[in-house]
Amino acid sequence: MREYIDGATAIVRGALAAGCDFFAGYPITPASGILMAMMRDLPRTGGVAIQGEDEIASIGMCIGAAMAGSRAMTATSGPGISLYSENIGLAIMGEVPLVIVDVQRLGPATGGATTVSQGDVQFVRWGTAGGYPIIALCPTDVADCYRLTVRAFELAERFRCPVFLLTDKEVVMTPATVAADAFVPLPVPERTTADTGLPYEFVPAGDVPALHLIGDGAAVRFTGSTHDEGAFITKHGPTIEALNRHLAAKVDDHVAEITMMDHIAQAGAATLIVGYGVTAGAVASAVELSDSPLAALIVRSVWPVPEEAIRDALAGIDRVVVPELNLGLYRREIERLAGDREVVGVNRIDGDLISPQQILEATA
């Protein structure tokens, strides 16, 4: 048995499987399918979905709902991520478990609403003040949208931070044939809560404090200002430093746990292709079609950069090819890990996809 579905449907199915019970979003192509499906289906499972007056309100509602006990998700595209920016920082500072779907379209500005792109891969990482880490997962196809949405909720709970599902117009809006058993039931992510003690414990830095939910037990304080462990505003230097180091360490100390990648290793391969998201399929095809052995790395957790895994895959490689639907935005992450190796991009920004043949030309 097979299904004929698009990525938007798979994302919503994944969110519901992960126990999502709050969604707020604002209409934007190519993410509107997720909003509409959530507005229809979430109340049927006892949750709440609402169309915000704008993107700022939508993510704000999600943050409020998340701290009052909901498992929250929002979905937008690049222009909406721009408006989410300040609240992404709030979710980092307030340690909010939140899933943000970015269905990338061609930018900058309004760009091309129905045109595919991977132009937000650095933007989601650096899109708010301060430079503190977030997590971003990149599904390669419709079935992966389902799996990685569930994983995004798991990671949001585990690390109490915004987790991006970084996808694109083609994966989300193109109906595709999927084996029905690709949608295996997955367990609802675990949630660790506490109703006594301090709402924010940040020592040791790499630990993630249990979630204190508003309305569950004792009074709970939440703040987006620089704060002590009780969520009171502080200007005490050592406390400030401990807080900020914690916000980075709780993600950066756990890269191995977050890392998701598929490594196609081949004996004798001296060229490695690194791809993510919608280009992953063309990468795999290029490896199959090639007369000479090629290695490939499909990065499904693009942030934090899985540096160790990438370094391991670079062993024995002297040339790296990075196909992307942008001008080489993720290639810079590979370049800084590649040492003296040649790193070349295959870049398409005309609104169409990269073919396996284009990649093969760059491997020659």
Interface residue with other proteins among 129, 203, 218, 327 (CB under 8 A) is 218
* Minimum distance of other proteins from residue 358's CB (angstroms): 8
Among the residue ranges 209-217, 248-256, 309-317, 328-336, the one whose residues contact other proteins (CB under 8 A): 209-217
Which of residues 220 and 249 has its CB atom nearest to other proteins in the complex?
Answer: 220
Question: Binders of other proteins among 221-240, rule CB under 8 A?
Answer: 221-225, 231-233
Which of residues 139 and 304 has its CB atom nearest to other proteins in the complex?
Answer: 139
Instruction: Say whether residue 185 binds other proteins (CB under 8 A).
Output: no
Half-sphere exposure of 359 (CA within 13 A, CB side): 30
- Render the burial of 126-136: b for 16+ CB within 10 Å, e for the rest: ebbeeebbbbb
What letter would DSSP give residue 210? P
Interface residue with other proteins among 72, 106, 134, 320 (CB under 8 A) is 72
Burial of residue 4 (CB within 10 Å: 0-12, 13-18, 19+) is exposed
The tokens 């890392």 sit on which residue?
A: 259
Which of residues 40 and 311 has its CB atom nearest to other proteins in the complex?
Answer: 40
Strand partners, 346: 323
Beta strands 271-275 and 72-76, pairing class: unpaired
Number of residues forming the site for other proteins (CB under 8 A): 80
Instruction: Say whether residue 126 binds other proteins (CB under 8 A).
Output: no
Helix (H, G, I), strand (E, B) or coil at 64: helix
* Minimum distance of other proteins from residue 346's CB (angstroms): 12
Q: How many CB atoms lie within 10 A of CB 256?
A: 9
Which of residues 102 and 144 has its CB atom nearest to other proteins in the complex?
Answer: 144
Which of residues 163 and 255 has its CB atom nearest to other proteins in the complex?
Answer: 163
Which of residues 250 and 348 has its CB atom nearest to other proteins in the complex?
Answer: 348
Contacts of 341 (CB under 8 A, 6+ apart): 314, 317, 318, 319, 320
* Minimum distance of other proteins from residue 269's CB (angstroms): 20
* Minimum distance of other proteins from residue 206's CB (angstroms): 26
**Rg of the chain, C-alpha, whole Å:** 20
Phi first, then psi: what are they for 280, rounded to 5°?
Answer: -60, -40
How many Å apart are CA 72 and CA 285, to the nearest integer?
36
How many Å apart are CA 225 and CA 177, to the nearest integer?
47
Among the residue ranges 65-73, 99-107, 119-127, 258-266, the one whose residues contact other proteins (CB under 8 A): 65-73
Closest CA to 200 of 173, 220, 229, 242: 229
Instruction: Say whether residue 264 binds other proteins (CB under 8 A).
Output: no
* Minimum distance of other proteins from residue 311's CB (angstroms): 27
Q: Is the peptide bond before 108 cis (omega within 30 degrees of 0)?
A: yes
* Minimum distance of other proteins from residue 184's CB (angstroms): 12
* Minimum distance of other proteins from residue 238's CB (angstroms): 20
Q: How many CB atoms lie within 10 A of CB 361?
A: 12
Question: Binders of other proteins among 34-63, rule CB under 8 A?
Answer: 37, 40-41, 43-46, 48, 50, 52-54, 56-57, 60-63
Interface residue with other proteins among 152, 156, 171, 272 (CB under 8 A) is 171
- Render the burial of 298-324: b for 16+ CB within 10 Å, e for the rest: bbbbbbbbbeebbeebbeebebbbbbb
**201: Cα separation from own chain's centroid:** 25
Which of residues 108 and 215 has its CB atom nearest to other proteins in the complex?
Answer: 215
Question: Binders of other proteins among 104-123, rule CB under 8 A?
Answer: 113-114
Instruction: Say whether residue 297 binds other proteins (CB under 8 A).
Output: no
Interface residue with other proteins among 24, 135, 243, 273 (CB under 8 A) is 24
Instruction: Say whether residue 311 binds other proteins (CB under 8 A).
Output: no
Instruction: Say whether residue 66 binds other proteins (CB under 8 A).
Output: yes
Instruction: Say whether residue 356 binds other proteins (CB under 8 A).
Output: yes
* Minimum distance of other proteins from residue 144's CB (angstroms): 12
